[in-house]
Every structure is written in C-alpha cells, then in structure tokens.
Structure 1
C-alpha cells in the first residue's frame, strides 16, 4: 500500500491576537505558545503561580522540565485572565478526579472551559464557553516500539492500517491516532485506560473522524513542523480561531 500525500502536510497560520480580544459563544480559540522563555520571563511567570504550582515545579529533577512547567502554567494563567478580566495570579483552579484542571468554583459562573497540552517546547491551550473541550499535542519522534504501542492501545483496524504503512509514515500516523484519541478523552475527563475504546477513522491522505461519538467534532491541527495535534469539541457549528501568544 502506497500513498502519494501525507495528511496533514504543513503548519497552520497562527495570527497575533487582536487587542480587543472577544470570545463569542460559537467560537473556539486555540493558542500556541513556546515554553522556552528567557530567565526574566520565567521569573515573571513564576510570580503568578500558586504555592501548590510552585511546589509541583520544584519537584522536577531537570531544570528544563521545571522551566517548561512554570512557562506553561504562567501562560495559561495569562490567557485565562485575559478572558476573565482578572490578573493572572487571581485565576484559581480546582482539579477533577484524574487531575484535570478546571476553573475554581468562584470562577465557574463565567462558563469558560479550557484545556492545555504541551510537548517538548511547544504548548496549545484551547478555550471556549460551555462546550466540553480537549486538545492534545505531540512532537513526532522516532520510537522503536511504535507498533507494539499501537497493538496495545489501538483498535485492530487502526493497528492494521498503521502496520501496513512504510516505515517513514508509521510514526506520524501513530501520533495522529494518539492525539485524536487523547483529545477526546481529555475533553470527557476519562483517562488513558479508555484509549483502546475510542475509534478514530483516518488515512495518510484524509483527515480524522471520530467514530465513537458522532455528536462530537474532531479537528486535526498542525501547530509546527514535526508536530501534530487534535482538538475535540462537544457538538458542531462552532468557528475556530488560532492565536499565537
């Protein structure tokens, strides 16, 4: 089996957000930002974090991982604060049973829902009102056990398709499957234990479709070279806007 084109092919266009940023009820905003900031930028972001977030940051053994956690949480606070009309340090989080962060009770009246994903030095944050939402991002990287992982976590038809591909295409298709499934599970709050129960239809030349829940929208994103991502949103009829932070 051979394919002439590989979907998706090239990075998307990410625009600077306007000064009068406004999130409409039928819109989904996805933000892209990098996690490798300067020392002064990281110090500024760290000042906005809560004590428990700083404790989590200090648990990382490698400085690179600690810095990326601080950048990710700090940027998330700045993005959410801009929608809520409050300072980043005033953003408060609660955590669901599986550790997914949500706005604390005092802020939930806004209806704002969000999800964050990061891989290597890149992160995506998806935001909207009232719709369950999930985003997942992966850097495409060589993995020697990619077929074994696909056999363990994917449905038989998904595994068979991936295994039939040339070696230079297997890695990308694996991560496309993974991000699509993970985006949906992050939106619903379910964990990786359910990964093999989520059916996704895709080919190297066609976009993904979520077969498990037709009432959901699934959209593949290309945030940068060597990255793939997926966005899962409850319902349909919404408009996507992509911003560069």
Structure 2
C-alpha cells in the first residue's frame, strides 16, 4: 500500500517526521532538485569536504546544484531519523560504491538509498532491511529495442515486443527501474548483470522479481514496489523481505 502526502504549492513548513520507523515500514521522500540559491547554499554548508569536491567536479552548474541539493536533503532526512545534526553524519561505501551510515551511527538501524533524474530525487529509508530505489526520466529515444535486447533477459524482451507499440516505452522504463532498484538493493553494482534476473513489466502486473537465475531462491527474498513520481518519470523500490508498508511523502516545495 502506498500513501502519498501531498504538499500544496508554496507550502514551506517543516514536514512531519515519523520517529518510529518500524521494521515493517519503508519511507520514501520525493523532492525537487530545483531549489532557491539560498537553499542550495544552506544545503551545501551541510556537506563534508569530499562531497563538496564531488559537486565541484560537475562540468555544468546545474549538475553541481542538483548534486548539492540531493546530498544536502539526504543529510537533512537522515539527521531527523537519527536525531543528530545533518553535518555530523558520516558515510561509508562498499566495494561497489553503495553508501551506508558509518559504524558510529549503528547503520543497521537505518538503511537508505537515493536516486535522482531530471529535476526530481527519491530517497528511501528502512530499518534493519536492505533497499534500493531508482528513478528515471522517460526518454522514448532511449527505449530502443536494441538496448532492451542488449541488457534485458530474453523473457523480458519478448514481453516488451508482445505489447502494442504505444505501450513499449512505458514497459521499457518499468523494467529498467525495477531492475536497477533490485541491483542497488543488492549493493553489487555492475557485478550483477541486468539479464541475470527477471522482473514483471506488463501493464497492470504487480511489481515483482520473478526469477533469479544464479540462485533460484533469491527472488523470494525481495519485494518490488512501483512508485509514481509524476508525469514523465518512472520509479521503483526494492526491499528485502515481504510485508512492508511503503509511505510516500513530498518534500516541501515539490509541486504535486
């Protein structure tokens, strides 16, 4: 079940945070990356030196701004969940680059993942269970049959080709985001190929990991959830285990 808390345009009040993030809940926040100069400066002040250097490596100002907002909001949200100052949060990264909280923060208590595309970012938070989140801007020019044939499993490619032409682009990005969310949840990066497992993608079909070829029992260990970030976007969430309730909220300033 997905509940969406909508923020009316122009509202800027501090959002209400559920301080009892239970193990059977996942919180998803949607936020706009287009913030005022003052807000970007405020969020940049929360970043540590490595994060600022990463932001400054972007060639275009828009990329620097979006990275700064995404990382600053991640710190802000984690600060609320952990009840500490955002600038004091420390991160660690596994060998494939997946971020997690440093040991000092008891990382098993809050797991997180982030994705951004276009002008929107998605943040996922869970307690004592791994998760991965993915967001993509729908680009009909990218949803080519050749790309699907290169990266998707044969059954997924056949499913896309069986659809009416007007349904294929949406199905392509539904498949792509569900697969990326699962890969991010696994934390294995490019070591886990996109065609080594299969996800549901037919219009109206429940989100699910259908088959994991390397380990037939692995599919049952994960649940997939479809997200609706807004027109022109597709999102997905992968969570370890079953029975979790997904709560979706908008960060103030994001137009519904």
Q: Does the Cα contact within 8 Å between 1:181 and 1:195 map onto a contact in 2? A: yes
Alignment-derived partner of residue 241 in structure 1: 247
Q: How many residues in Structure 1 have an aligned counterpart in Structure 2?
A: 235
Matches within 5 A, 1:35-74: 35-74=33-72
Residue 125 in structure 1 maps to residue 144 in structure 2: no
Task: Tell which deviates more after alignment, 74-83 or 193-202.
Answer: 193-202
SS in 1 for 2:4: coil
Q: Does the Cα contact within 8 Å between 1:14 and 1:32 map onto a contact in 2? A: no
Q: Report Cα offsets for 1:159-216 as digits up to 9, x if no partner.
A: 1121233332221111100110111110111224511112112312323221131221
Give me the CA root mean square deviation: 1.8
Matches within 5 A, 1:222-233: 222-233=228-239
Change (3 A) 1:183 1:144: closer
Q: Report Cα offsets for 1:67-120 as digits up to 9, x if no partner.
A: 000000000000000000011101110111111111012112562100000111
| Unaligned ranges ≥5, structure 2 | 8-14, 213-218, 252-256
Residue 158 in structure 1 maps to residue 121 in structure 2: no
Q: Report Cα offsets for 1:112-155 as digits up to 9, x if no partner.
A: 10000011110111101100101111111122562111001111
Alignment-derived partner of residue 5 in structure 1: none
Residue 13 in structure 1 maps to residue 8 in structure 2: no
For normalisation by structure 1, the TM-score amounts to 0.90
| Unaligned ranges ≥5, structure 1 | 1-10
> Partners in 2 of 1:144 and 1:114 — Cα distance?
28
> Partners in 2 of 1:187 and 1:163 — Cα distance?
28
Alignment-derived partner of residue 215 in structure 2: none
Q: Does the Cα contact within 8 Å between 2:178 and 2:199 map onto a contact in 1? A: yes
> Partners in 1 of 2:107 and 2:48 — Cα distance?
21
> Partners in 1 of 2:6 and 2:177 — Cα distance?
23
SS in 2 for 1:56: helix
SS in 1 for 2:46: coil
Q: Does the Cα contact within 8 Å between 2:140 and 2:169 map onto a contact in 1? A: yes
Q: Does the Cα contact within 8 Å between 1:15 and 1:242 map onto a contact in 2? A: no
Q: 2:168 aligns with which of 152, 164, 170?
A: 170
Alignment-derived partner of residue 114 in structure 2: 116
> Partners in 2 of 1:106 and 1:160 — Cα distance?
48
Q: Does the Cα contact within 8 Å between 1:143 and 1:171 map onto a contact in 2? A: no
Moved over 6 A (4+): none
Alignment-derived partner of residue 28 in structure 1: 26
SS in 1 for 2:238: strand
Matches within 5 A, 1:124-143: 124-143=122-141
Alignment-derived partner of residue 197 in structure 2: 198
> Partners in 2 of 1:145 and 1:210 — Cα distance?
21
